[in-house]
Amino acid sequence: MLLQRTLTALLLAPLAILIILLPSTSVFALICAAAFLAALWEWAQLSGLKNRSARIGLLVAAAVVFSMLWYAHAGITSSVLLLAGVAWWLLACLWLRHFAFAAAPTSENRMLKLLAGAFVIFPAWIALVSIHERVPHGHWWTLLALVIVWAADIGAYFSGRFFGKRKLAPQISPGKTWAGAYGAMVAGVLVALTGGWLLDVRGSQLLGLALLAMPTVAISIVGDLIESLMKRHAQVKDSGTLFPGHGGLMDRLDSVFAALPLFAAGLLLLGL
């Protein structure tokens, strides 16, 4: 499984980097919207929305929202959505503490999870757009945001594998350990420091970026756990089968969805 995951990652990483660095923000936003719609399809399935026509209707409505957000994102809409995204992921920590909440396959719980999906998808997209269009180096800041999450994931895997004993959330994701969380934190901070230095960030701003990486990594772990909770409720192993060894798009983007709003808001506060 590790070999399969590694090979898939080696194929996907260059493609992701090219998508981030080469296109204009408008093209990048369109590509991300398409990927996020595919992830929303999987989220709807995990939420218990089994009717295919209803899921298609949900995606059409979401596409309309993406279009509206694109034309409105330059104003206060962007800041409001970023704050909403951060607030949602902080609230999600309470859901992890009460993991049986909304587990029953009722229509009320399905609607609740679909509503949660909106707070997962749209703030993350706004965060990507706002970072990518920054001047200067917006493309590179976007890459750094994602590399922090990727590095945290790798750091968590290896530190958890070699040192992990105490479980982080055994009822939700038995494989995750506190050692993995610490490894993720170290990896994320080191990448933030390196990336910030390469982007000519110095002094107190570089220290602030390193500090920002810590809650960014922490909330990315929450994103991973929330998706694990959704899969537990749905009684499935993966959100999809798109990527061999990696599952579906939600399996690959869960941490990213959680990390992006907080990282984008942090950059604004730091003046970067």
Closest-CA residue to 120 (of 228, 258, 231): 258
Structure tokens at 99: 């993991």
Distance CA 266, CA 205 (A): 11
Say whether pLDDT at 244 is over 70: no
Of 5-14, 154-163, 180-189, 217-226, least confident by mean pLDDT is 5-14
Closest-CA residue to 126 (of 15, 7, 200, 25): 25
The pLDDT tens digits of the residues spanning 182-204 come to 999 999 999 999 999 999 999 99
Mean pLDDT, to the nearest integer, of 236-244?
76
Closest-CA residue to 36 (of 76, 70, 5): 70
Say whether pLDDT at 125 is over 80: yes
Provide the residue type at 4 as one letter. Answer: Q
DSSP 51: -
**What integer pLDDT is reported at residue 245 of this predicted model?**
57
Distance CA 168, CA 64 (A): 39
Distance CA 157, CA 169 (A): 15
CA dist 46 → 12, 95, 149, 203, 235 (Å): 24, 16, 23, 45, 9
Element (H, E) at 169: strand 167-169
The domain in which residue 69 lies consists of 2-270
Structure tokens at 29: 């936003």
Mean pLDDT, to the nearest integer, of 45-67?
95
Say whether pLDDT at 246 is over 80: no
Structure tokens at 166: 């105490």
173 - beta bridge partners? 169
**What integer pLDDT is reported at residue 104 of this predicted model?**
93
Q: Evaluate if pTM is beyond 0.85.
A: yes
Question: In total, how many domains does the chain have?
Answer: 1
The answer to whether the CB of 221 falls within 8 A of the CB of 184 is yes
The pLDDT tens digits of the residues spanning 157-170 come to 899 988 988 999 99
The answer to whether the CB of 233 falls within 8 A of the CB of 103 is yes
Residues 6+ apart with CB under 8 A from 135: none
